[in-house]
Structure 1
Amino acid sequence: MTPTTSSGPDSGPPTLARWLTGRRDSDLAALLRARPDLVVPPPATMTVLANRAQQRASVFRAADELTTGDFGVIEALARLGAAEKPVTRRALLDRLAGRTTAKNVDRTLDRLRTLLLVWGSADELSLVPAATETVPWRIARSTASDLPDDAELAAMIDDLDAARRGILDTLARTSPVGRTKDAATDTPADRPVQQLIASGLLIRLDDETVELPHRVGQYIRGEAPFDPAALAPPPAAPATHTVADINSTAAGAALELLRHAEELIDALGTAPAPALKSGGLGVREVRRLAKTVGIDETHAALLVEVLAAAGLIARGLPDPPPPTDVDDYWAPTTSADGWMKAPAGHRWAVLAGAWLDSPRRPWLVGRRDQNDKPIAALSDEVQSPPAVRDRRLLLEYLAETPGSAPDVGQIRAALAWRRPRWAGRLGGDAVAETLREATALAVVAHGSIASPGKALLHGGDAEAEMEAALPEPVDYVLVQADLTVVAPGPLVPDLAARIALVADVESAGAATVYRISEASVRRALDAGTGAGDLHALFATHSRTPVPQSLTYLIDDVARRHGRLRTGIASSFVRSDDPALLAEVLAAPVAATLALRALAPTVAISQAPLAEVLQELRAAGFAPAGEDSSGTVLDLRPPGARLAVPRTRPRYTGPVPPTAEQLDTLVRTLRAGDRAATTSASKSVQADGSRSGGAATMALLQLAVRSKRSVNLGYVDAQGVATRRIVDPVAVSGGTLEAFDPAAGTVRSFVLHRVTSVALVD
């Protein structure tokens, strides 16, 4: 589409509104897509759009995504005075000579024009005034001092005495420019300011002014370092790992993650954790969960944060409620049951996706807050809205350097160059801990992003990528003579559940090692699995001969298991062996349960069945619960569960308009400009009086009869006043029906909201 120009005069100094009017519709659509905050509410004319685009808050929001190279061009334009009067592209290239190429400058200018921070042709480049304030360093800085590399600079600053370090700290925390009489050249050399100038840690501007170099301020503030003079990004690290190796390692980490997550859900289901008054999870509870699952407290804190973000655990009063007076717990939700039955790829994607989009920083848990108190997991102190953008920035960088394993210093330097305005959030701890979390979540492996993580980041099929990376499930195990069972890969779900019932995990990884013990066999028997079922399980699914020791163990435990039977009398205890029942009645546990013999083989108790089973097992017996038919019951208590909480939508910033909305917005802007500049042959102001209303009605009816367009002033239901050119179709019932070219459809206008009407020549 050819540019549409204003019908107004072209003389006079160039303005942003006039330049916008001359842009192609596609350019305007790209601008509105890049600056979505400009379209709320929709601007009526180019003048409104231009004024809104130059507002300081909007300019700062747009500048958040700029690189150091972009800011370098803005700085050069500011030094040339482009914020006050237009400058030429040739002058800009001369200013940046030796630092970059003309092609890169043109590419940067196109980007800045799209963001409406720079406007005008190559011969008349203008800078939005507020853009100069967005540059994250002092534009009027002097020639930088000759500083050594980062390691030597750190050593120099760390070796300073209190007086010199105090001066640097003050300048780093306030303004980089300070005034002091000690800056004069005739000041004794042993004065702190003179020593700092001599070492290059301060720059002398004049006899009373010094400046702190940007790199020195970055180090003192703990920011990620970047060079303001570098218009090109730091070189990428070379590839050191293959994609196959990265994906294989990530798959192993994903299996470990899922196992720990399931165990943590089971631990919270068995014993929900009381919530703190502030709503978080106490240090003791995190320590308990870590010990139960067999992981460190840092990893446990990450897991509970991710599970909460995924909606698999929540805060409230679970069902059944724990036997305490507390009414606020952290416990699994009903969604956790469905999640644990889902395929491994889906389960991983739920956890990793929740972490990626969580506005929290789990690595802050355990650190000290401003009051020197440890930050609790799931507390408000962990909340950090910028965490999502920082996390994605790091992963985007890793995705662009596949197979490489950059160290934390390289990552910080690259991220700071890409987003210098975020440098304060890219401290060493932030980058290192985010990388550690990504590795624990199987998004990153060997310091490089894995294929499933890349799919998750870019909206691909992350589940399918993880399923492809995971080893194929196996339906067999290897039973060893030492009563260990080796699963050479992830087991099919049914076999995994049956093995987990009869054996305990001893070590996990690419191959999982289980340990069979007397207690684990008894657990399977308590759940209703018979000795014959256990023999058949190992005979069918073991690729190695079943050792005789395992057969003896199962038979020995089964022989003693269930010789005592408990039921509901309130409870009863029976045994086919009178001597065994007599032994029970003679034991201290009989008094605890108030057992009373009814016959040589039967005794009753008023205690609940579950309590009878628990006490008898604690006393060294091996009872089995039974129902009215004598069938063994699985009396393991179900885990506590919470109803799935309703999630509140989270504001993530202005939503970019769709292509259809952009087309409508551009047409509205064109129509608004046309309405503002078109002269009227006859105009009527609707002042609310009877005569004004009659004149308005008469003029609109004339436009309908003569098929003339009108310039309509209108105030919508939200109180927004607009002007537009429409083609009236009918006037009746207090409503004007007119075709609106901007919307491309017939619209209804309430007559009492019409402020003016003018026939268009």
Structure 2
Amino acid sequence: MSTQKSDPGPGPTSSGTGATVEQLADHLMALPDRDVAALLLARPDLTSPPSSSFTALAVRAGARPSVEIALRDLDAVTLAVAEATVALRSTDAAALAHALGLGADDVAARLDVLTRLALVIDAGPVPGLADAFGPHPFGLGPAAADPPAVEQLPPPLTALEQQADPGTAVLKALAWGPPVGTLGPGRRSVGAAELVERGWLERTSDAAGRTRFILPREVGLALRAGRLNREPLRPPSADGLDVLPPDAVASEAAIHAEEIVRLTRELLNEWGREGGQILRSGGVGARALERTAAAIGLEGGQAATVIELAAGADLLGLDEAGAAWVPAATASAWQEAELPEQWAALAAAWAVSSRTPWLVGTRSDGGALRPVLGADVEAAWAGRLRRRILALLESLPEGTSADAAWVRGALTFARPRRPIPDGAVTALLAEAELLGLTGGGALSRPGRVLAAWLRAAPSTGPDTSSPTAGPGGSGQREEPDGQLLAALEQSLAADLPAGVDTLLVQSDLTAIVPGRPTPALAAVLERSSVVESRGGALTVRFTPDSVRRALDEGWSAAELVRALSRFSLTPLPGALTVLVDDAARRHGAVRVREVTSVLRVADPAVAAGILADASLAGLGLDQVAPGIILSAASAGAVLRELRAAGLAPVLENEHGGILVAGDSSGHHRRRAPAPPPARPGSEHTVTRRRPSRPELAGLVGRLRAGEEARRADGGAPTSAGDPVHVLALLRQAQASRARVHLRLAGADGAQQERTVRVLAVEPGRVRLADLGRETELTVAVHRIVSVEAR
């Protein structure tokens, strides 16, 4: 005999096994207005569209779709208590506590939460709650048609461990669920006959004629010794997590904060030279992402994260033609700000972002690749998950380092019915580390400031601050304010080590800063060197390309040597000065004029080499005169490709003057003004607004007036005409096996009236038994004009 899992279906919801719609309506009607308003606030799906009466509200509140929405924000313990009320058909706190291995006071508090959510009332769980947990709550079968007496029930499994007879093996297989076993054709179960004779199994058959054995609920509970759950209901323990010294966390986080600011500056400089071209389908293409990643020295996935961070912080906008992402008008002020101010803008924007940069390069549901800054990288759950992760890390003792497996387990326990996409927790923890919100996996002091603000900031979604809700709210948060930014700046500034203005230059063209460089020294090194390692000390190397970058910025060879000498304790090595002089001699041998584009090459040999270089064929080069070469590519692309080929070109204006990189003044270069900031995916963002107190009071008043009018009419049968109410009434009728009167629209537009019993509510259609014609029919939901419960 093999066990099989059954698809969730309607559980027992008739009188005596749960609350009916009428009982739920009476319960809601008896509540004070403030409690009804609190219910509507906690379950906002019940307000759209508004119900006409408490009976109509009860139909919706007790139906499975609305119940499923309410269950999404409950933790594992509260969900277990809710499921236990269905499995045991009881709302007695002591009985539920014994069955779940919990304290009676804790269970009573959970029952109070479920009552306030109108999921469980004095009469029992609402119909949709039984539907949500399926036909076998906690793996228990249905109640026996003829239950055996208590003294005739089997002993607990612990007393049967030493027995190896066939009947005991069947009981052990079915005890913890699923409680249904099926025999294939021509097979028999040794020992099952005796169990059926004792009333410990019930024999049935399925539609295919196979024999099925069902373990009754009473027998299953006896085998479990009255327990519903096999494992204790406890969240993952934090005792095994590493605890780091606060100084180590602060140091690690500060290093990452400096690095993310540097990477963002590099991105803005790169896209200031050549923006991120937008695909026809939206977003920035893979080629532009690859080019950007190479320019800032990152892998493609990390570069996508930096790009999304910059856009979220309002540092990017669309150019005049709307064809490329370029630095926004706000970028120049950000570039000139101090490090703590720059970092605070990035961190605050990340916390409220709904972007998923780790999905860049993967395929959407439609099969298309997701591009960076594309609409498909927007997901509302990502914003909620960021806040939940920060709140969870904040709840741990200071310095506690949490890995992705522990965080995922804790979040799942907090909200089991909110599934977390694969890889999302790992990716968000990596983003938090990249930003410096964590150091070594532990929340930093700036991270705690941000988490505290998110916890205290008002939400536009439902209030989920009850003990049953997971960390963080589920609604949209307000945008960061100046007070938060100031607090973030102060917290990071306190963790940053004192600046060092000493540069130890070595003859192998490397240099060491014994600590964190001061802003002035950092600016010189950023323009003229490449980083080899970071940590307690900064190690950089001078290369021809890095020196050329300083010359591109407008420095002369003498100015660069003086700037480096100012921080060096000893004279600069000859190898470095020779490198600078050699780079200066080659710098400007090729000049690019942006006419899209003209190359002026004084040396005929260099011009011939450019035209013959196969790697430059994509530029569409054509020599129109001695020393004059035209290109179909933009000036930025020409500069990049020539540098990759080993040349050292410079950009010049229409008068032949050399342009300093990033110079946008009008007398140097004709350039469109920087655009206003824009955010990708903002056109797809939907914010859920919480109803105001006057609106809630008006809704409650209309519910009372509508219910009084309905009852004054003699308690007219519950009816519905809108799809939401229609489906709710049909599911209720299916659960209670009640008759309903349908009005259907035929193919010719004529209406028919049928008295039916609902057999199944399926996606888009309903299976019905026509009681008048004694036939079965399947009806599309959109054909149902109205439904009335009889």
Is TM-score (shorter-chain normalized) higher than 0.5? Answer: yes
- Which structure 2 residues correspond to residues 374-413 of structure 1 after superposition, within 5 A? 375-379=370-374, 381-402=376-397, 403-413=399-409
- Which structure 2 residues correspond to residues 136-215 of structure 1 after superposition, within 5 A? 138-139=136-137, 141-142=139-140, 180-182=182-184, 186=188, 208-209=211-212
CA contact (8 A) 2:316 2:678 kept: no
State which of 422, 443, 446 in structure 2 corresponds to 1:449: 443
Shift of 1:444: 3.3
The C-alpha deviation readout for 1:385-430, integer Å capped at 9, x for no partner, is 333333433443333223333444433333222222124x354x34
Counterpart of 2:746?
none
Indicate yes or no: 2:505 matched with 1:480.
Answer: yes
Name the SS for the 1:413 alignment partner.
helix
Relative to 1, partners in 2 of residues 1:66 and 1:606: Cα closer, same or farther, differing over 3 Å?
closer
The C-alpha deviation readout for 1:335-374, integer Å capped at 9, x for no partner, is 4434333343443344444444444433333446678876
Indicate yes or no: 2:529 matched with 1:503.
Answer: yes
CA distance in 2, matches of 1:556, 1:307: 36
CA distance in 2, matches of 1:304, 1:255: 16
Q: CA RMSD in A?
A: 5.5
The residue identity in structure 1 corresponding to 2:294 is K
Counterpart of 1:537?
563
Indicate yes or no: 2:261 matched with 1:258.
Answer: yes
Counterpart of 2:678?
645
CA distance in 2, matches of 1:414, 1:13: 36
Name the SS for the 1:514 alignment partner.
strand
CA distance in 1, matches of 2:453, 2:256: 21
Indicate yes or no: 2:366 matched with 1:340.
Answer: no
Shift of 1:112: 1.4
Indicate yes or no: 2:469 matched with 1:436.
Answer: no
Counterpart of 1:245?
248
Structure-2-length-normalised TM-score: 0.59
The C-alpha deviation readout for 1:663-688, integer Å capped at 9, x for no partner, is x4588479858986999xxxxxxxxx
CA distance in 1, matches of 2:341, 2:120: 46
Percent of pairs with identical residues: 30
Relative to 1, partners in 2 of residues 1:486 and 1:630: Cα closer, same or farther, differing over 3 Å?
farther
- Which structure 2 residues correspond to residues 266-277 of structure 1 after superposition, within 5 A? 266-277=269-280
CA contact (8 A) 1:366 1:376 kept: yes
Counterpart of 1:549?
574
CA contact (8 A) 2:561 2:577 kept: no
Counterpart of 1:291?
294
Structure-1-length-normalised TM-score: 0.61
Relative to 1, partners in 2 of residues 1:28 and 1:248: Cα closer, same or farther, differing over 3 Å?
farther
Name the SS for the 2:499 alignment partner.
coil
Relative to 1, partners in 2 of residues 1:534 and 1:289: Cα closer, same or farther, differing over 3 Å?
closer
Name the SS for the 1:420 alignment partner.
coil
Counterpart of 1:232?
234
Shift of 1:487: 4.1
Matched length: 580
CA contact (8 A) 1:34 1:656 kept: no
CA distance in 2, matches of 1:227, 1:358: 38
Counterpart of 2:70?
62
CA distance in 2, matches of 1:635, 1:595: 28
Counterpart of 1:714?
none
CA distance in 2, matches of 1:80, 1:497: 70
Relative to 1, partners in 2 of residues 1:188 and 1:346: Cα closer, same or farther, differing over 3 Å?
farther
Name the SS for the 1:513 alignment partner.
strand
The residue identity in structure 2 corresponding to 1:467 is L
The residue identity in structure 2 corresponding to 1:63 is L
Shift of 1:108: 0.5
The residue identity in structure 1 corresponding to 2:539 is V
CA distance in 1, matches of 2:521, 2:259: 18
The residue identity in structure 2 corresponding to 1:549 is G
State which of 127, 130, 133 in structure 1 corresponds to 2:125: 127
Shift of 1:62: 1.5
The C-alpha deviation readout for 1:272-311, integer Å capped at 9, x for no partner, is 3444443244444433333332222332233334444444
Relative to 1, partners in 2 of residues 1:178 and 1:442: Cα closer, same or farther, differing over 3 Å?
farther
Q: Which stretches in structure 1 are left out of the alignment for 5+ residues?
A: 1-11, 147-174, 190-202, 213-225, 322-326, 575-580, 597-603, 680-761
CA distance in 2, matches of 1:615, 1:303: 24
The C-alpha deviation readout for 1:144-192, integer Å capped at 9, x for no partner, is x99xxxxxxxxxxxxxxxxxxxxxxxxxxxx978774239983599xxx
CA contact (8 A) 2:402 2:441 kept: yes
If you compute each CA radius of gyration, which structure gives the higher value, 1 or 2?
A: 1
CA contact (8 A) 2:21 2:59 kept: no
Counterpart of 1:300?
303
The C-alpha deviation readout for 1:678-711, integer Å capped at 9, x for no partner, is 99xxxxxxxxxxxxxxxxxxxxxxxxxxxxxxxx
Q: Which stretches in structure 2 are left out of the alignment for 5+ residues?
A: 1-19, 142-155, 158-176, 192-199, 205-210, 216-227, 455-483, 612-622, 665-670, 713-790
Name the SS for the 2:555 alignment partner.
coil
Counterpart of 2:496?
471
- Which structure 2 residues correspond to residues 582-593 of structure 1 after superposition, within 5 A? 584=603
Counterpart of 1:699?
none
Relative to 1, partners in 2 of residues 1:493 and 1:134: Cα closer, same or farther, differing over 3 Å?
farther
- Which structure 2 residues correspond to residues 612-691 of structure 1 after superposition, within 5 A? 634=660, 643-645=676-678, 648=682, 654-658=688-692, 664-665=697-698, 668=701, 672=705
CA distance in 2, matches of 1:234, 1:183: 45
The C-alpha deviation readout for 1:523-557, integer Å capped at 9, x for no partner, is 545544355544543444x1623335378448845
